[in-house]
């Protein structure tokens, strides 16, 4: 079985990089000095490692994660989408269209009865209906099924780095 580090194509990612990535995913606002204290490295060594991880594309970007109390004010839905046909040109058009929609937080192609799963965040039910009408009008979509989120028990963007 291949490890997470085996999938990295640039420089080797060692156990310190793994630990650094785990800490940064918890809170990327920690200073290099604080990270160095936790990992037993100098501030300059931490800075160099972060620069290398960023240069190598392992750290893609730093973002702010919005608090649950703010996210909870919005209507969140999970949509299972079934494609009408599997033609490459139409599939590419669908992918481009979905990636361009700001309401879509997650878009993954999946196996099973559905072909894609979307996580969608909208202001309210009226906004959802506009979104759903746009989705249903796409010729590539055979059908979709919606489940509305009642409560979020866990939300993370962190990827295990073991």
pLDDT in tens, 105-156: 999 999 999 999 999 999 999 999 999 999 999 989 999 999 999 999 998 8
Of 51, 70, 71, 69, nearest to 59 by C-alpha is 51
In DSSP notation, 71-131 reads: HTTSEEEEEEEEES---HHHHHHHHHHHHT-TTEEEEEE-SSS-SEEEEEEESSHHHHHHH
* pLDDT beyond 80 at 59: yes
Query: How many Cβ atoms sit within 10 Å of the Cβ of residue 96?
Result: 9
pLDDT of residue 2: 46
For the chain, the domains span 10-55, 68-148
| Tens digit of each residue's pLDDT (9 = 90 or more) over 78-93 | 999 999 887 888 889 9
Q: How confident is the model over 28-45, as a mean pLDDT?
A: 96
CATH architecture of 68-148: 2-Layer Sandwich (3.30)
Decide yes or no: CATH 1.10.287 for domain 10-55.
Answer: no
pLDDT of residue 11: 54
Q: How confident is the model over 28-49, as a mean pLDDT?
A: 97
Q: How confident is the model over 30-51, as a mean pLDDT?
A: 97
Q: What percent of the chain has pLDDT over 70?
A: 93
């Amino acid at each position: 079985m291949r490890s997470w580090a085996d999938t990295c194509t640039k420089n080797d990612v060692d156990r310190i990089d793994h630990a650094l990535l785990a800490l940064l995913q918890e809170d990327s606002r920690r200073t290099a000095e604080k990270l160095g204290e936790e990992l037993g490295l100098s501030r300059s060594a931490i800075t160099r490692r972060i620069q290398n991880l960023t240069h190598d594309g392992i750290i893609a970007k730093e973002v702010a994660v919005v608090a649950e109390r703010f996210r909870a004010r919005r209507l969140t839905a999970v949509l299972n989408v079934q494609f009408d046909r599997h033609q490459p040109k139409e599939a590419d058009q669908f992918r481009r269209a979905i990636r361009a929609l700001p309401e879509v937080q997650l878009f993954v192609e999946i196996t099973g009865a559905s072909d894609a799963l979307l996580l969608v965040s909208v202001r309210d039910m009226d906004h959802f209906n506009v979104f759903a009408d746009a989705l249903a009008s796409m010729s590539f979509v055979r059908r979709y099924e919606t489940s509305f989120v009642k409560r979020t028990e866990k939300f993370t963007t962190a990827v295990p780095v073991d």
